[in-house]
Structures are given as structure tokens and as C-alpha cells.
A = this chain, B = another copy of it.
């Protein structure tokens, strides 16, 4: 039986949200119709953003330990519901026997064809890394990186989700989205898996939000169901 491998804990609520989306996207009328998964929820992996921006401790050894753990458990695919961790996508992919989905590829594929300018709601680390800017540019879409007034709101939104205060997180996100709307930006990528947990608390956001967690879950379910992992023999 093939299993989905999830390298998670970055952060833990985002991993729970990702699993929830995988379960809800799976057509099922009973337990046995669902997809099997092994989840390595490893919250002690060093902070990705600090490593990218501030020369903080390198998370790569622990990320590779997680990849090894999942492969030892014979997973057939790996999904990593943390955008910033994809700064190290190449070494993780190279280490893994199982294919590793790339969250930015699945997310930018969901941008409407008509969008010409798309804002990036992400950690400072992911923005400095630049892989989202590259993925959008390859599709001839102009990435809009938040300015110095807006990025602290995005950062605080992410921080509050990690600390479990979703109401505070939603307030920061709402202020950031209002700025985007004022700037005439119609579409934004929630390119950090904490942000969708805050967005759920906002009634009607003033810009179209694309959810990287949801798009990664869609790609995961598609891959696994195409291969019949929900119907083991």
C-alpha cells in the first residue's frame, strides 16, 4: 500500500489544516475510502525565516532527517505544508526516494489566467529566497512584494497563528488586505501556510486569496487518488 508522507510541524496548526483539507477533498463515504498518510510533525526544526534572513541555525539537517524518516516508512509521495521550507526544496528532493511536491508550483498554477499583478503574503524568509517571485515571473505574472508598512502586518499575522491567537492574526491580516485593496491589487497568494487559518476568520476579504495549503492538498489528493492509494488491494 502506498502512503502519503507529510513533513509537518512548521507550524503544527498549519499541518492540521493541511490534513483537514486532504481529508475533506477525498471522495469518501466511510473510513476505508480515505487516503493513508504518515505525518512527521516536527515542530523543533529551526526557524526557516531566521536562517534565510538572519543567518539563524540551519534547518536543513532536521529537514533531511524528516525526509529520511518518511522514506524509511515507505511513503510514495511527500508534501511539505510550509512554504519557507521550500527554500531547501532541491536538497530535500535530491535526498528523497519518493517524489516531493513543490508548494509554490501547485499554488501559482491556481492563479487566474487574467491576473497580471499578484501580491505575495509570505514570511520575510520566503520573500528573500525568491522562489515565489520566480514561479510567478515564469507565468508572466508580476509579483508584488509588500512594502515596509505592510510586511510587519503579515509577519505578525503568521506569528499569532503559531502562538494560537487566531483572532489577533485575523486582525493583522485584515489590515494588510485593506492596504492591498487600496493599492488596486486584486489577487494575493497566501504563500505561508499559517495565513489561511487567519483568513478563515475574515468574512469577505477585499482581494481574491489563493491558498497554498489548499492547492498543495489538491495536488496531493489528485496524485494519490490517480494511483488508487484510496483503494488498496
Contact = CB atoms under 8 A, between A and B. Distances in A.
Contacts of A33: 43
Nearest to A14: B31
B13 A36 contact: no
A16 B19 contact: yes
Q: How many copies does the complex hold?
A: 2
B1 A44 contact: yes
Contacts of A39: 37-39, 41
Interface string A25-40: 0001111111111111
A15 B47 CA distance: 26
Nearest to A82: B31
Interface stretch (A4-12, A94-102, A148-156, A201-209): A4-12
Interface in A109-156: none
A171 interface: no
A40 B43 contact: no
A72 B50 CA distance: 33
A162 interface: yes
Given A9-B34, A12-B34, A31-B47, 15 more contacts: A9-B36, A16-B20, A19-B19, A28-B162, A30-B47, A31-B162, A32-B43, A32-B46, A33-B43, A36-B41, A36-B43, A37-B41, A38-B41, A39-B39, A39-B41
19 contacts: A1-B44, A10-B31, A11-B34, A12-B31, A12-B34, A13-B24, A15-B19, A16-B20, A19-B19, A23-B164, A30-B47, A31-B43, A31-B47, A33-B43, A34-B43, A38-B39, A38-B40, A38-B69, A73-B73
